[in-house]
A and B are shown apart, each in its own frame.
Chain A
Amino acid sequence: MSEVAASYERQPAPASQLPRRILVVEDDPDLLRALTLRLTCAGFTVYTASDGELAIRQALDLQPDLIVLDLGLPGLSGHGVASRLRRDGRPMFPIVVLSARSEIEERAAAGQLGAAAYLVKPYEPRQLLSLINSVLR
């Protein structure tokens, strides 16, 4: 992670009081790494999970400020994760959904899960960051 640390120093995060701990759930290791690099460089503390079960354990243990969730996970799907991470019918964490599908129905289903935002792959990194920032704010 040394290169990340170096670039972090190059691009210091804006001195804001925003919560900055993010759990990224993505089964593709390359994409997970890219997301981690992006978010770390933007000044976030990033935790990762590559499957649904692990995501739930991580979320409950670490209590992140936000979860970036891929819907197409093997085994327990992103939908499953989101519905398990609810208390009294409300999502316990703000969720930004990342999906390869753009169909309206998928969006609507994600909305039902209580996702705060929805992003379609391939996403624009800048758009991802501004979405995350606006959700956290």
Chain B
Amino acid sequence: MMLSTFQTGDRRASSMTTDSTGPTWSGDDRLAYRLLVAEDNAHDVRLLKLALSDWASSAELLVADTFTKALAIASLHPVDLLLLDLGLPDSNGLQTLRTALKHLPDVPIVVMTGHDDETTARQVLQEGAQDFLSKRDLTTRGGRRLVTRSLRHAVERHQILRELREANRLRSMFVATASHELRTPLAIIQDYAGLLSDGTAGPLAGLQEECVGAIMRNCRRLGDLVGDLLDVAKMESGTISLRLESTSVDALLAQCHSDFLQRCRDKGQRLDLQIEPELPDIHCDRGRMMQVIVNLLANAHRFTPEGGAISLSARREQDDLRIDVTDSGVGISTEEQGRIFDAFVQVDRRSGAGYEGTGLGLFIAQRIILMHGGTINVESTPGSGSRFRITLPASVRCSRLSSLRAALVTLSGRAPGLVTERTSIVWLSPVTRGPNSDASETRIPLGEIEATATTLFRRHDSVFGSDADCLVACLLQGSEDDAMGFLRRLARAFAGRSADIGYQVCTVDGRAPDTSATPPAPLNLTPLSHLRNPR
């Protein structure tokens, strides 16, 4: 094995680290890390050494002239970065990178090739390389500076990412703990107040009844607040998941309506319910969808004066289902409409009942609707009322998800019951549509979706174990390139998992995804059948 180690600078011995805790930077901004170079051209290696010395940096360089040697070295010594030539004697092209990524999932990789064309650069980055460099850069002083900086940033980025993941994990743990710690005492207070108010603990005199009533009311408020805060925390850490099931729109809205009817009557408000006949069922998380509608109704109730009118309606609009909550209340100014869906925004409306809400309701509502692949928006005229509109792609969503479920059953080779019991279906939609069908699309950043998926899969594994025969399905809708890149990274993150992760790619324009571009043997990542998108 050819293994040459070289050092630049005279003070580097004291600043170099070789342990696995990652690179350290000495005070004068010198690099102090171990760099593995897979490169068979001695001239290029010389230029690379020059590049690193140019920058007054210090690094330990391990050089391998074949791919096999590079992998062997990396398995023996912890390295902080791999600089990979795609034209090695024993491995060529993109496959080299894929194998390297699979074997060294925790090492940032920068690719360097002789031919710098844009297509290769794009492919390489999509596969998961940190950067793409041309050997031509090594021939000029400015180019060499660029190379060094790229390597340095690759290592730094990797380190930051690792720290972020850890921070995210700690936050999720904190939220889980806080939920337990807050809910137990709350349950106790509520229970004892209940024992007082229902007379179990003896009859109450007039004023006592009022006191206990206030305790009960505020327990509920605190419970709502704890619930909302947990929802937001889960949304931000990406650990929220939906339990999708076929749901009758009719029944869902009728229940919301009857839950609210008395409250509205008490305030002299009319609450109308208008549901278009024969609406198709939607696939949604029933509890979450109800949470959204109840939140909209509660807002309408609060901000509509006595004698006003509120209506809850649903109708079909081409492929979409529209649910409107309309009120004749005080309305929202244009300026406030822009930020009403942000977290902790309490729009100041005169007739609103002070601090009753948490300021999180609409933020949560919007996130829930987005997770369902829909949109929510508001139209309002100050002084005459507001209309909140939820748009859900009704029929499309329904058929896709039932096909997915069917595919999952086939994949698991088990009874349908198993799939509902032990399968998390993760609906990840990178694209959400605007209120009109040709309006511009809102893209949820792929990074955010990936973080969500990764966290969900991790949690699933931590409960069931990575060898459990459960399936996790992830339905992607978006551009094919994005989806494939995502799947590759997902497969890498879960390499070695013995149970399946099923996935489904839907393209927005209805084309069938190019299955030949499916990542090669990402262990147990199993493709389901392609589902046609009618759009």
Q: Which residues of A contact B (CB under 8 A)?
A: 3, 7, 11, 28, 30-31, 34-35, 37-38, 41, 72, 100-106, 108-109, 111-112, 120-123, 125
A37: B residues at CB distance < 8 A: 195, 200-201
Chain A residue, CB-CB nearest to B234: A103
Q: Could you tell me the distance between the alpha carbons of A120 and B287 in the complex, rounded to whole angstroms?
A: 14
Q: Does B58 contact A (CB under 8 A)?
A: no
11 pairs, A vs B, C-beta closer than 8 Å:
A31-B187, A34-B192, A37-B200, A38-B200, A100-B179, A104-B424, A105-B463, A108-B422, A112-B422, A121-B183, A122-B183
The verdict on B219 contacting chain A, using a C-beta distance below 8 Å, is: yes
Among B187, B239, B422, B463, contact of A123 (Cβ-Cβ < 8 Å): B187
Which residues of B pack against A, CB within 8 Å?
176, 179-181, 183-184, 186-188, 190-192, 194-195, 200-202, 219, 223, 239, 241, 243, 421-422, 424, 459-460, 462-463
Q: Which of A11, A34, A103, A122 contacts B195 (CB 8 A)?
A: A34
C-alpha spacing A108/B422, complex, angstroms: 7
Complex Cα distance, B514 from A14, in Å, reads 65
Q: Report how far A121 CA is from B190 CA in the complex, Å.
A: 10
Q: Are A111 and B463 in contact (CB under 8 A)?
A: no
Which 7 A-B residue pairs are closest in the complex by CB-CB distance? A122-B187, A121-B187, A34-B191, A100-B180, A100-B183, A105-B463, A121-B183
Number of A-B contacts (CB under 8 A): 70
Q: Which of A72, A109, A111, A112 contacts B180 (CB 8 A)?
A: A72
Residue of A nearest to B230 (CB): A102
Question: B422: nearest residue on chain A (CB-CB)?
Answer: A108
Among A28, A105, A111, the residue within 8 A (CB) of B184 is A28
B459 cross-chain contacts in A, Cβ below 8 A: 103, 105
- From DSSP, what is the main secondary structure of chain B's interface residues? helix
Distance between B131 CB and nearest chain A CB, rounded to angstroms: 37
Across-interface contacts of A35 in B (CB, < 8 A): 191
Chain A residue nearest in CB terms to B180: A100
Contact (Cβ within 8 A) A28 B179: no
Given A28-B188, A122-B186, A125-B194: A101 and B179 within 8 A (CB)? Answer: yes
In the assembled complex, the Cα of A106 lies from the Cα of B241 at a distance in Å of 13
In the complex, the chain B residue whose C-beta lies closest to that of A123 is B187
B179, A3: Cβ atoms closer than 8 Å: no
> Which chain B residue has the least Cβ–Cβ distance from A109?
B463
Looking at the complex, which one of A41, A108, A120 makes contact with B421 (CB distance below 8 Å)? Answer: A108
Q: Could you tell me the distance in whole angstroms from the C-beta of A51 to the nearest C-beta in chain B? A: 16
